[in-house]
Structure 1
Amino acid sequence: MTSAPIIDQLLKLNNQDIVSFHVPGHKNGRIYNKISYKNFQDIVYSLDTTEIPGTDNLHNAKDIIRQSQDKASKIFKSEETFFLVNGSTAGIYSMIMASTCPGDKILIDRNCHQSVINASILGDLVPTYVYPNMDEEQGIAMGILPEDIEKQLIEHSDIKAVVLTYPTYHGIACDLKKIREIVHKYDKILLIDEAHGAHFGLSEYLPPSALSCGADGVVQSTHKTLPSFTQSSMLHVQGDRIDREKLKFMLRIHQSSSPSYLLLSSLDFAVMVYETEGKYLMKDLLENINNFREMVYKLDKVSIMSKDIIGINGVHAIDPTRLWFGLKGITGYRLEQRLRDEFNIQMELSNNYGVLAVTSIANDTQDFYRLLSALDIISKEETNKGFYDLQSFIYKIPEQVFTPRQALYKNKKRVLLKESSGYTSGESIIPYPPGIPLIVPGEKINDEVIEYVTAIIKSGKEILGLKDASYQWIEILA
């Protein structure tokens, strides 16, 4: 009997009634229960087409795509907006390479997504890093200080562009307005990976958008927090620091010449929802989140990240739609597993200390009740088993020996990961999610990296970047 394994598994998952606290933002299509637009969800397969009369061309948009992009530009308050069908990665590549030339130096936050590192390889760029403050108890990156940006720009006057993550995966927002003032004072280009902040304009209770802070180029993963399909994103630009024609050329290089009209139509849908119902739905979401937080505070042994961290470690604001919480006595890895296996609740990610819930305007009140009920049960059961202290990992920033591109083309050999301390890595080590590299090619491996990666492997989490599927071996520079 023949089968279609991907379809079969997706249909199986669809029938499990999973509560989604993970991306994409449409939450398993549930946004269509709130907003039904001309039966869009029922006929989506029949909309898959290509460039024929009446459909326009993404790479030379003059008709319906141009109209939709112009509408997005108006709503998101950019000067020009480009739809992305190869994910935010294509947008990151394009805006960085449109703003630089081979050999240029760029300033990057060290907790950036792997696509930023890969852009430095593709564009033959020299990355210089600025390091975020860390919450060592929680094992997560916090904010970037404006003075640290200025220090780097003074020390490296030949930096061409500054590329920052805003907000972080956990919803941490730095003082981007102040940073923009500094970057532009030194006549540099400010590029923002706002993959997790496409929804910021929907409420005054959210951090300010990167565009409103004055960034020159902004990439948003519309699919993560707004209701477009996975792999659909937007690139917004304003001002005259980015060469628009060069940007369009880079987009043609990094995007498919056969763009998916399903993805384009989902972006069109997301723009329509954002404009018409977005603020109302966000108001409803924030009310549900506030109620959830009040109830969580009453649960014994459950801790949740709050506004108390604002003003500390470079944190200027936090995104309330991100819920980072932990349960005393068990690891975040175990908590995530129990929520999925026993309560059909899927979180976005976990580490040794806690779990992350990514909420969106497609979540409803019942989702939060189910999560609260599960946490209440787990906290009481785990409490009866007694407590133990979680091991604290202090991540030591690796030393950069070569640029990622230089390391890519050097001879390599394999050694056991556990014996690799002191060697220069020829591979990336990227826990996924969130896709933030612990180490990239050209950086020196240290004991802290090995210890941290070993713990991640033991938890059963996925590691990207290593060729060895068993995660026992790593390539180093010979």
Structure 2
Amino acid sequence: ALCNPKDKIIVNRDCHQSVINSCILADIEPIYILSKIDKETNIQEGIDIEESKKIIDNNLDAKAILLTYPTYYGKTFELKEICDYAHKHNIAVIVDEAHGAHLGLSDRLPKTALEEGADIVIQSTHKTLPSFTQSSMIHIKGDRVDRQRLSTMLRIIESSSPSYILMSSLELAVDIYETKGNELMEELLDNIEQFKEKNKNTSFDIYNEDDKTKLFLSSKKLGMTGYELEDLLREKYNIQVELANYYGVLLICTIGNTKEDLDKLSEALEDMSNRYKKDSYIECLEYPVVIPEKALNPREAFYKNKKSVKIYESIGQICAEYVIPYPPGVSLLSPGEVITKEIIDYVILCHKKGMNINGIKDLNLEFIEIISD
């Protein structure tokens, strides 16, 4: 809605794969901002503000900047500063607030993207508020967005047969948000603080800095990968986490969770600390932080001829498919990017440890598609 074909859009590298798909559909050129990674946890921390300003300065012809806020792990950054800087250069700000539809329910949580100055905000309402899966909202603020053009674009990509069940669930979520949301959120945040206090002496480090509804449990001291912990919690304790990375698991707590839910998690952590702790920590594994060289834009690569080669023979070639650890759906390699040994080594090692990989056709990771032209 903000770009024409061949226009630029500035995007955080740890964006959702749907952003790249949109660039393919609309023939838009993505300009990436490198995202920060916590080496202790492999948690994605968001963008560096000064680096983002440099990217804007070097791409003043960009029509928009799209940022993920909060990150999938609940980390935030100085969004208002970036909004003000982008607006100063006549660049609109789109925020993927998929995991932040609840932020307005308490002053103990980070400010919402709209409060920070974003022009368009997309929320996956179903992730953190009580609506059905697939239900989401788009919010617009100010006069930088042509609302009629946006409505036209939505008609092109949405179904002409909308689900009234999903829409009704959104109305119910809004009603709960407005009438009971503040009370439920304060109760949840109090329960989370009690949970953290109760478990500070277990074998798990708890990370819970910005969005207090997100709990990252590091299993490093337990001597167990996050993938192993995810399986153990599900199969042994009937607890389903949002996602796992190499160092731990992420849990999303919502206003639908009760004190009993967190008590059950506490019992599981105590039991695992007593029964499963190993003598040594897991080995260190660094997340690839370098953005691969872009040889073709996503749309050009999408329509090129492709061929499948053995995965280690692909190094130095142009990738023709996605390589996406899932969840959360952040692409390590996208169509048009040059394949590096660092990324292949990381993906294969993590896959052996239990990480799921999406996008690539060969789920065994023996072959990968490259551009054959």
- Normalising by structure 2, we get a TM-score of 0.96
Q: Paired residue for 1:373?
A: 267
Whether 1:416 aligns to 2:287 is no
**Separation in structure 2 between the aligned mates of residue 416 and residue 380 of structure 1, nearest angstrom:** 44
Q: Paired residue for 2:283?
A: 390
State which drifts further: 128-137 or 394-403.
394-403
**Separation in structure 2 between the aligned mates of residue 397 and residue 353 of structure 1, nearest angstrom:** 22
**Separation in structure 1 between the aligned mates of residue 281 and residue 173 of structure 2, nearest angstrom:** 45
**Separation in structure 1 between the aligned mates of residue 187 and residue 233 of structure 2, nearest angstrom:** 24
Say which of 21, 27, 33 aligns to 1:130. 33
Q: Paired residue for 1:278?
A: 181
**Separation in structure 1 between the aligned mates of residue 225 and residue 242 of structure 2, nearest angstrom:** 15
**Separation in structure 2 between the aligned mates of residue 289 and residue 259 of structure 1, nearest angstrom:** 37
In the alignment, is the contact (CA less than 8 A) between 1:353 and 1:390 conserved in 2?
A: no
* Structure 1 residue 140: Cα displacement: 2.2
Q: Paired residue for 2:110?
A: 207
Q: Paired residue for 1:351?
A: 245
Q: Paired residue for 1:141?
A: 44
* Structure 1 residue 146: Cα displacement: 2.2
Aligned residues: percent identity?
A: 49
State which drifts further: 399-408 or 143-152.
143-152
**Separation in structure 1 between the aligned mates of residue 304 and residue 313 of structure 2, nearest angstrom:** 20
Alignment of 1:44-443 (within 5 A): 98-299=1-202, 301-307=203-209, 318-327=210-219, 328=221, 329-383=223-277, 385-395=278-288, 396-443=290-337
**Separation in structure 2 between the aligned mates of residue 330 and residue 462 of structure 1, nearest angstrom:** 17
* Structure 1 residue 138: Cα displacement: 1.3
**Separation in structure 1 between the aligned mates of residue 347 and residue 53 of structure 2, nearest angstrom:** 32
Which one-letter code corresponds to 2:215 in the other structure?
L
* Structure 1 residue 461: Cα displacement: 3.4
Q: CA 1:130/1:409 → structure 2, altered by over 3 Å: closer, same or farther? A: same
Note the alpha carbon deviations across 1:205-253, whole angstroms, 9 max, x for none. 1110000111000000100000000000000001111111000101111
**Separation in structure 1 between the aligned mates of residue 243 and residue 208 of structure 2, nearest angstrom:** 18
Q: Which has the higher contact order (CA 8 A, sep 6+)?
A: 1
**Partner secondary structure for residue 356 of structure 1:** strand
Note the alpha carbon deviations across 1:342-386, whole angstroms, 9 max, x for none. 111111111110100011000001111111111111112222x31
In the alignment, is the contact (CA less than 8 A) between 1:394 and 1:448 conserved in 2?
A: no
In the alignment, is the contact (CA less than 8 A) between 1:146 and 1:182 conserved in 2?
A: no
In the alignment, is the contact (CA less than 8 A) between 1:331 and 1:390 conserved in 2?
A: no
**Separation in structure 1 between the aligned mates of residue 363 and residue 53 of structure 2, nearest angstrom:** 41
**Separation in structure 2 between the aligned mates of residue 419 and residue 319 of structure 1, nearest angstrom:** 42
In the alignment, is the contact (CA less than 8 A) between 1:352 and 1:390 conserved in 2?
A: no
Which one-letter code corresponds to 2:205 in the other structure?
S
Note the alpha carbon deviations across 1:146-177, whole angstroms, 9 max, x for none. 22221111111211100000010000111111
Note the alpha carbon deviations across 1:406-437, whole angstroms, 9 max, x for none. 11111211111233221110100111111111
* Structure 1 residue 323: Cα displacement: 0.2
* Structure 1 residue 468: Cα displacement: 2.1
In the alignment, is the contact (CA less than 8 A) between 1:136 and 1:393 conserved in 2?
A: yes
In the alignment, is the contact (CA less than 8 A) between 1:219 and 1:236 conserved in 2?
A: yes
**Partner secondary structure for residue 240 of structure 2:** strand
Which one-letter code corresponds to 2:60 in the other structure?
S
Q: Paired residue for 1:30?
A: none
**Partner secondary structure for residue 223 of structure 1:** helix
Whether 1:468 aligns to 2:372 is no
Q: CA 1:365/1:325 → structure 2, altered by over 3 Å: closer, same or farther? A: same
Q: Paired residue for 1:444?
A: 338
* Structure 1 residue 392: Cα displacement: 1.6
**Separation in structure 2 between the aligned mates of residue 439 and residue 278 of structure 1, nearest angstrom:** 39
The structure that has the greater radius of gyration is 1
Q: CA 1:334/1:469 → structure 2, altered by over 3 Å: closer, same or farther? A: closer
C-alpha RMSD of the superposition:
1.2
* Structure 1 residue 182: Cα displacement: 0.5
**Separation in structure 2 between the aligned mates of residue 120 and residue 359 of structure 1, nearest angstrom:** 32
In the alignment, is the contact (CA less than 8 A) between 1:281 and 1:361 conserved in 2?
A: yes
Structure 2, gaps ≥5 residues long:
none
**Separation in structure 1 between the aligned mates of residue 321 and residue 181 of structure 2, nearest angstrom:** 42
**Separation in structure 2 between the aligned mates of residue 449 and residue 201 of structure 1, nearest angstrom:** 38
Note the alpha carbon deviations across 1:177-227, whole angstroms, 9 max, x for none. 111110101110000000000000000011100001110000001000000
* Structure 1 residue 133: Cα displacement: 1.4
**Separation in structure 1 between the aligned mates of residue 100 and residue 119 of structure 2, nearest angstrom:** 16
Which one-letter code corresponds to 2:365 in the other structure?
Y
**Separation in structure 2 between the aligned mates of residue 215 and residue 391 of structure 1, nearest angstrom:** 37
State which drifts further: 438-447 or 130-139.
130-139
In the alignment, is the contact (CA less than 8 A) between 2:245 and 2:355 conserved in 1?
A: no
In the alignment, is the contact (CA less than 8 A) between 2:208 and 2:214 conserved in 1?
A: no
Which one-letter code corresponds to 2:173 in the other structure?
A
